[in-house]
Structure 1
Amino acid sequence: MNGLTSRIKMPVLKFLMIFLGITMGIRPLYGQQFRFKDHRMVQRIAFSMLKNLIVIPVYIDGKGPFRFILDTGVGPMIITDPSLIDSLQLKNLRSIKIAGLGKGEPVEAFVSNQLTATVGDAEYPQIPTAILKEDLFNLSSYLGTHIHGLMGYHFFKSFIVEIRYTSRRIIFYDPLYRRKIKGTRIPLNIIGDKPYAKVSIRFDGQPALPISVLIDNGASHAISLEKLGDEPFPAPEKTIAANLGVGLSGVIDGRMGRAASLQIGNYTLNNVLSSFPDFHDVVNKILIRDRSGNLGADVLSRFNTTYDYGDSAVYLKKNHTFRRPFQHDMAGMEITAEGPDLNHFIIGRIEPDSPADEAMLLKDDEIVSIDFSSVSRYSLTELNEIFRNGHRKLLLVTVIRSGQRLTMLLKLKQRI
């Protein structure tokens, strides 16, 4: 995968505009892919959904399960938790440099073709893998549960993959398995192991624009708009400054606004939150010339989605969350889960002139209660939802600051 607070630590996540160019040097062996064992043709597995992102159990070299985000926006398997290097006893790893979106220098990672990944009863020997030398994204703090990596293209290319967001189930089946796919067919263009599709977006007072976007269910936002041709994507008149997260090379600044409508296939969504990353932060690192942005999980989770890379298509069937409003953080602060058990909720960032700023909350405050009810009863996702709903709602937020317990009055506000 809300920038206001739904990114990663530090400002934190639109994290999967990621790993551009990482596939160079770790291509799969010819004919290698996930395959079912024992003549199975179809399997269902449960997943967790955190901030619109899909988390599945993955075994590596028979060890695990490890928690991986299932992400159409990445190519090779990516291990983001470097502690797995020791627990998996990995040796003789090759080092590469990776350029990503954001400010700063490229970062280093290891690459390997020696690992075996298992999802359910499907196995991929010698899967192309990138292993970060540092946990740059701190995904565990962002999602409030331990996260070990990202699984992408090699899973989707091996099966027809149906994601049922409302029931938290994935059904994946061999392409030879005869099954009618339900939903509206959206053509995909697979470029560099990533799926692109055409959508149409319209802002108030403007004609609709047909654009090409990355279909990125590993990004928690609705849509990110980077460029139109060789120029910055024109933002609407009303926007707010926002930190849009981090890429591999550092902070991505930008603005947040709303599109009047977004059309994909026969479906139209209204009043859609749209982020506009700083043009100079991203333009030189976007390798697809006609790509204008990426479509994230805050849109995709409103559908049951079926990916058929063999037929270059995704099928969309709206679910009962289709008409839910696009909400942003109404407090203007970012919260992460810290500590060995991820049960300490720390304010990582305060947006200037936001309700949190006006309430005199500060970065590094630990939130311990809301309306005098302990936050220990909440997950990080549930806590963030409290601050995303209720324009003009008043909350008594108790924090620990430098050993002192302080209670602040916070008035939520819909800022965009």
Structure 2
Amino acid sequence: MLPEGETSDKIRFELINNVILIPVEVNGLELTFLLDTGVSKPIVFNFLKAADSLQILNAEKIKVRGLGNGNDLEALRSSHNTFKIGEAVNIDQAFYAVFDPELNFAPKIGIPIDGIIGYDFFKDFIVEINYNRKFIKIKKPSEYKLRICRRCQVLELNLENNRPYVLSYVDIGANKNIPVNLLLDSGNSDALWLFEDEENDIQISQKSFIDYLGAGLSGSVYGKRSKIKKLALGKFDVQSPKVAFPDTLAIAAMKSFEDRNGSIGGEILKRFNCVFDYSNSKLMLKPNSYFKEEFSYNKSGILVENSGVRMVMELSGDQNSAVSFSGRNSVSINGVIKPNYKYNLKPVYTIYQILPNSPAEKSGLMKGDEITFINNRNTQDITLENLIGYFYDDSGEELKIIVNRNGVERKFRLILKSPLE
């Protein structure tokens, strides 16, 4: 709830790889959470800074199941915690603490993520998400009146198991609008997921390719990627969106108890400024500057992650004169600290997968290569999101990549090509 006398609050967020990251204070500890409309209770990961500092109150052991084809996870259910987001405070918040060290989304996003929060935040407020200006405005439902504008569309939300669904329509490519029940999943960085269903004509296009779709609570998710003609959200037609068809094994448990045809992810949601009104089961959409942005694929075949840091020694006052560095995750340089230099931690970006028959595979790049330069730019000075952006340039563009492979510098060139060509 908001402090007495306050009716609203504004919270700034980071938008990285189409997902929203917000500051959340848990029992006095400042953490970073992913805002995920697709989850019910908050989840905290114990392998980050929360591991040693976070108080886990009134805990009981449970098993949890999530997306992926792995096993159930062991977790603790903790109750009567204090969560603070902006000026809003909940002094009786339950959450799950997950103990699997493999469950780490930070390398794929580029910054540490301590947890996920969804329904328990949205249910108490009217939540306006301004993707353009990167802020969230929360308001007390009793003080809010929905203002419908000419460019807006109000959709009915169906809240099942504390998760929001909307009725939408997809045209796979046969000029036929197929009704689909889709989960609104702001924690999914993809545009659209559909579940194969021959009976309802939801089928994969002949133009598709196999890809890694992401990590779920119960393991990695693979599937096929393609494009469809359009997604209709009320009066708005999202043209030629990307679509992923996850492997049936990864979603088997989910489909057994959900009447659901797929998910709308962050790459589509960010094209609208959204107002979520759970108390009245409403969602208002207003197109923003991202609306007509073209949907693009990774055309390199490189999947890269932030695999750690290394310390770089630079001349004081000269950011571009790195003269030495230590090994990954090390903080000493031959045991000597030189007073005329300053020492900075810089990211290390490592290829964790090369897609078959891709430009990267044909160029000779390999899993485990550390990318040190791309098109003559030192990768230690750019973010993971900036680095990945090179892979989405136009087909026909050339990438010049230098990697560190087992201590040896190697140079590669590749020509970007869409996997659907």
5 Å-filtered alignment, 1:8-407, equals 35-64=1-30, 66-83=31-48, 84-90=50-56, 93-182=59-148, 183-228=152-197, 233-340=202-309, 343-407=347-411
- Aligned letter for 1:320? S
Other structure's SS at 2:39 match = coil
Distance (Å, rounded) in 2 between the aligned partners of 1:232 and 1:270: 19
Alpha-carbon displacement from aligned partner over 1:202-238 (angstroms, at most 9, x marks no partner): 1223512111000111100011111438789411121
Other structure's SS at 2:176 match = coil
Structure 1, 281-290 or 213-222: larger mean CA deviation: 281-290
Contact 1:157 1:310 in 2 (8 A): yes
Other structure's SS at 2:108 match = helix
- Aligned letter for 1:224? W
Contact 1:211 1:291 in 2 (8 A): yes
User: Per-residue deviation at 1:146?
Assistant: 1.4
Contact 1:390 1:412 in 2 (8 A): yes
Query: Aligned Cα RMSD in Å?
Result: 1.8
Distance (Å, rounded) in 2 between the aligned partners of 1:147 and 1:362: 27
| Larger Rg over CA atoms | 2
Distance (Å, rounded) in 2 between the aligned partners of 1:283 and 1:42: 41
Distance (Å, rounded) in 2 between the aligned partners of 1:67 and 1:230: 42
Percent identity reads 30
Q: TM-score, normalised by structure 1?
A: 0.88
Contact 2:195 2:246 in 1 (8 A): yes
- Aligned letter for 1:275? A
Alpha-carbon displacement from aligned partner over 1:324-376 (angstroms, at most 9, x marks no partner): 00111111111111215671111011101111111111111100001222012
Contact 1:101 1:282 in 2 (8 A): yes
Distance (Å, rounded) in 1 between the aligned partners of 2:203 and 2:160: 25
- Aligned letter for 2:286? K
Distance (Å, rounded) in 2 between the aligned partners of 1:131 and 1:342: 30
| Structure 1: stretches of 5+ with no match in the other structure | 1-34
Other structure's SS at 2:261 match = strand
- Aligned letter for 2:37? T
User: Per-residue deviation at 1:61?
Assistant: 1.2
| Structure 2: stretches of 5+ with no match in the other structure | 310-344
Relative contact order, CA 8 A, sep 6+: which one is greater?
1
Distance (Å, rounded) in 1 between the aligned partners of 2:240 and 2:217: 30
Contact 2:168 2:232 in 1 (8 A): yes
Distance (Å, rounded) in 1 between the aligned partners of 2:291 and 2:156: 21
Number of equivalences: 381
User: Per-residue deviation at 1:278?
Assistant: 1.4
Distance (Å, rounded) in 1 between the aligned partners of 2:21 and 2:381: 22
User: Per-residue deviation at 1:46?
Assistant: 0.9
Other structure's SS at 1:290 match = coil
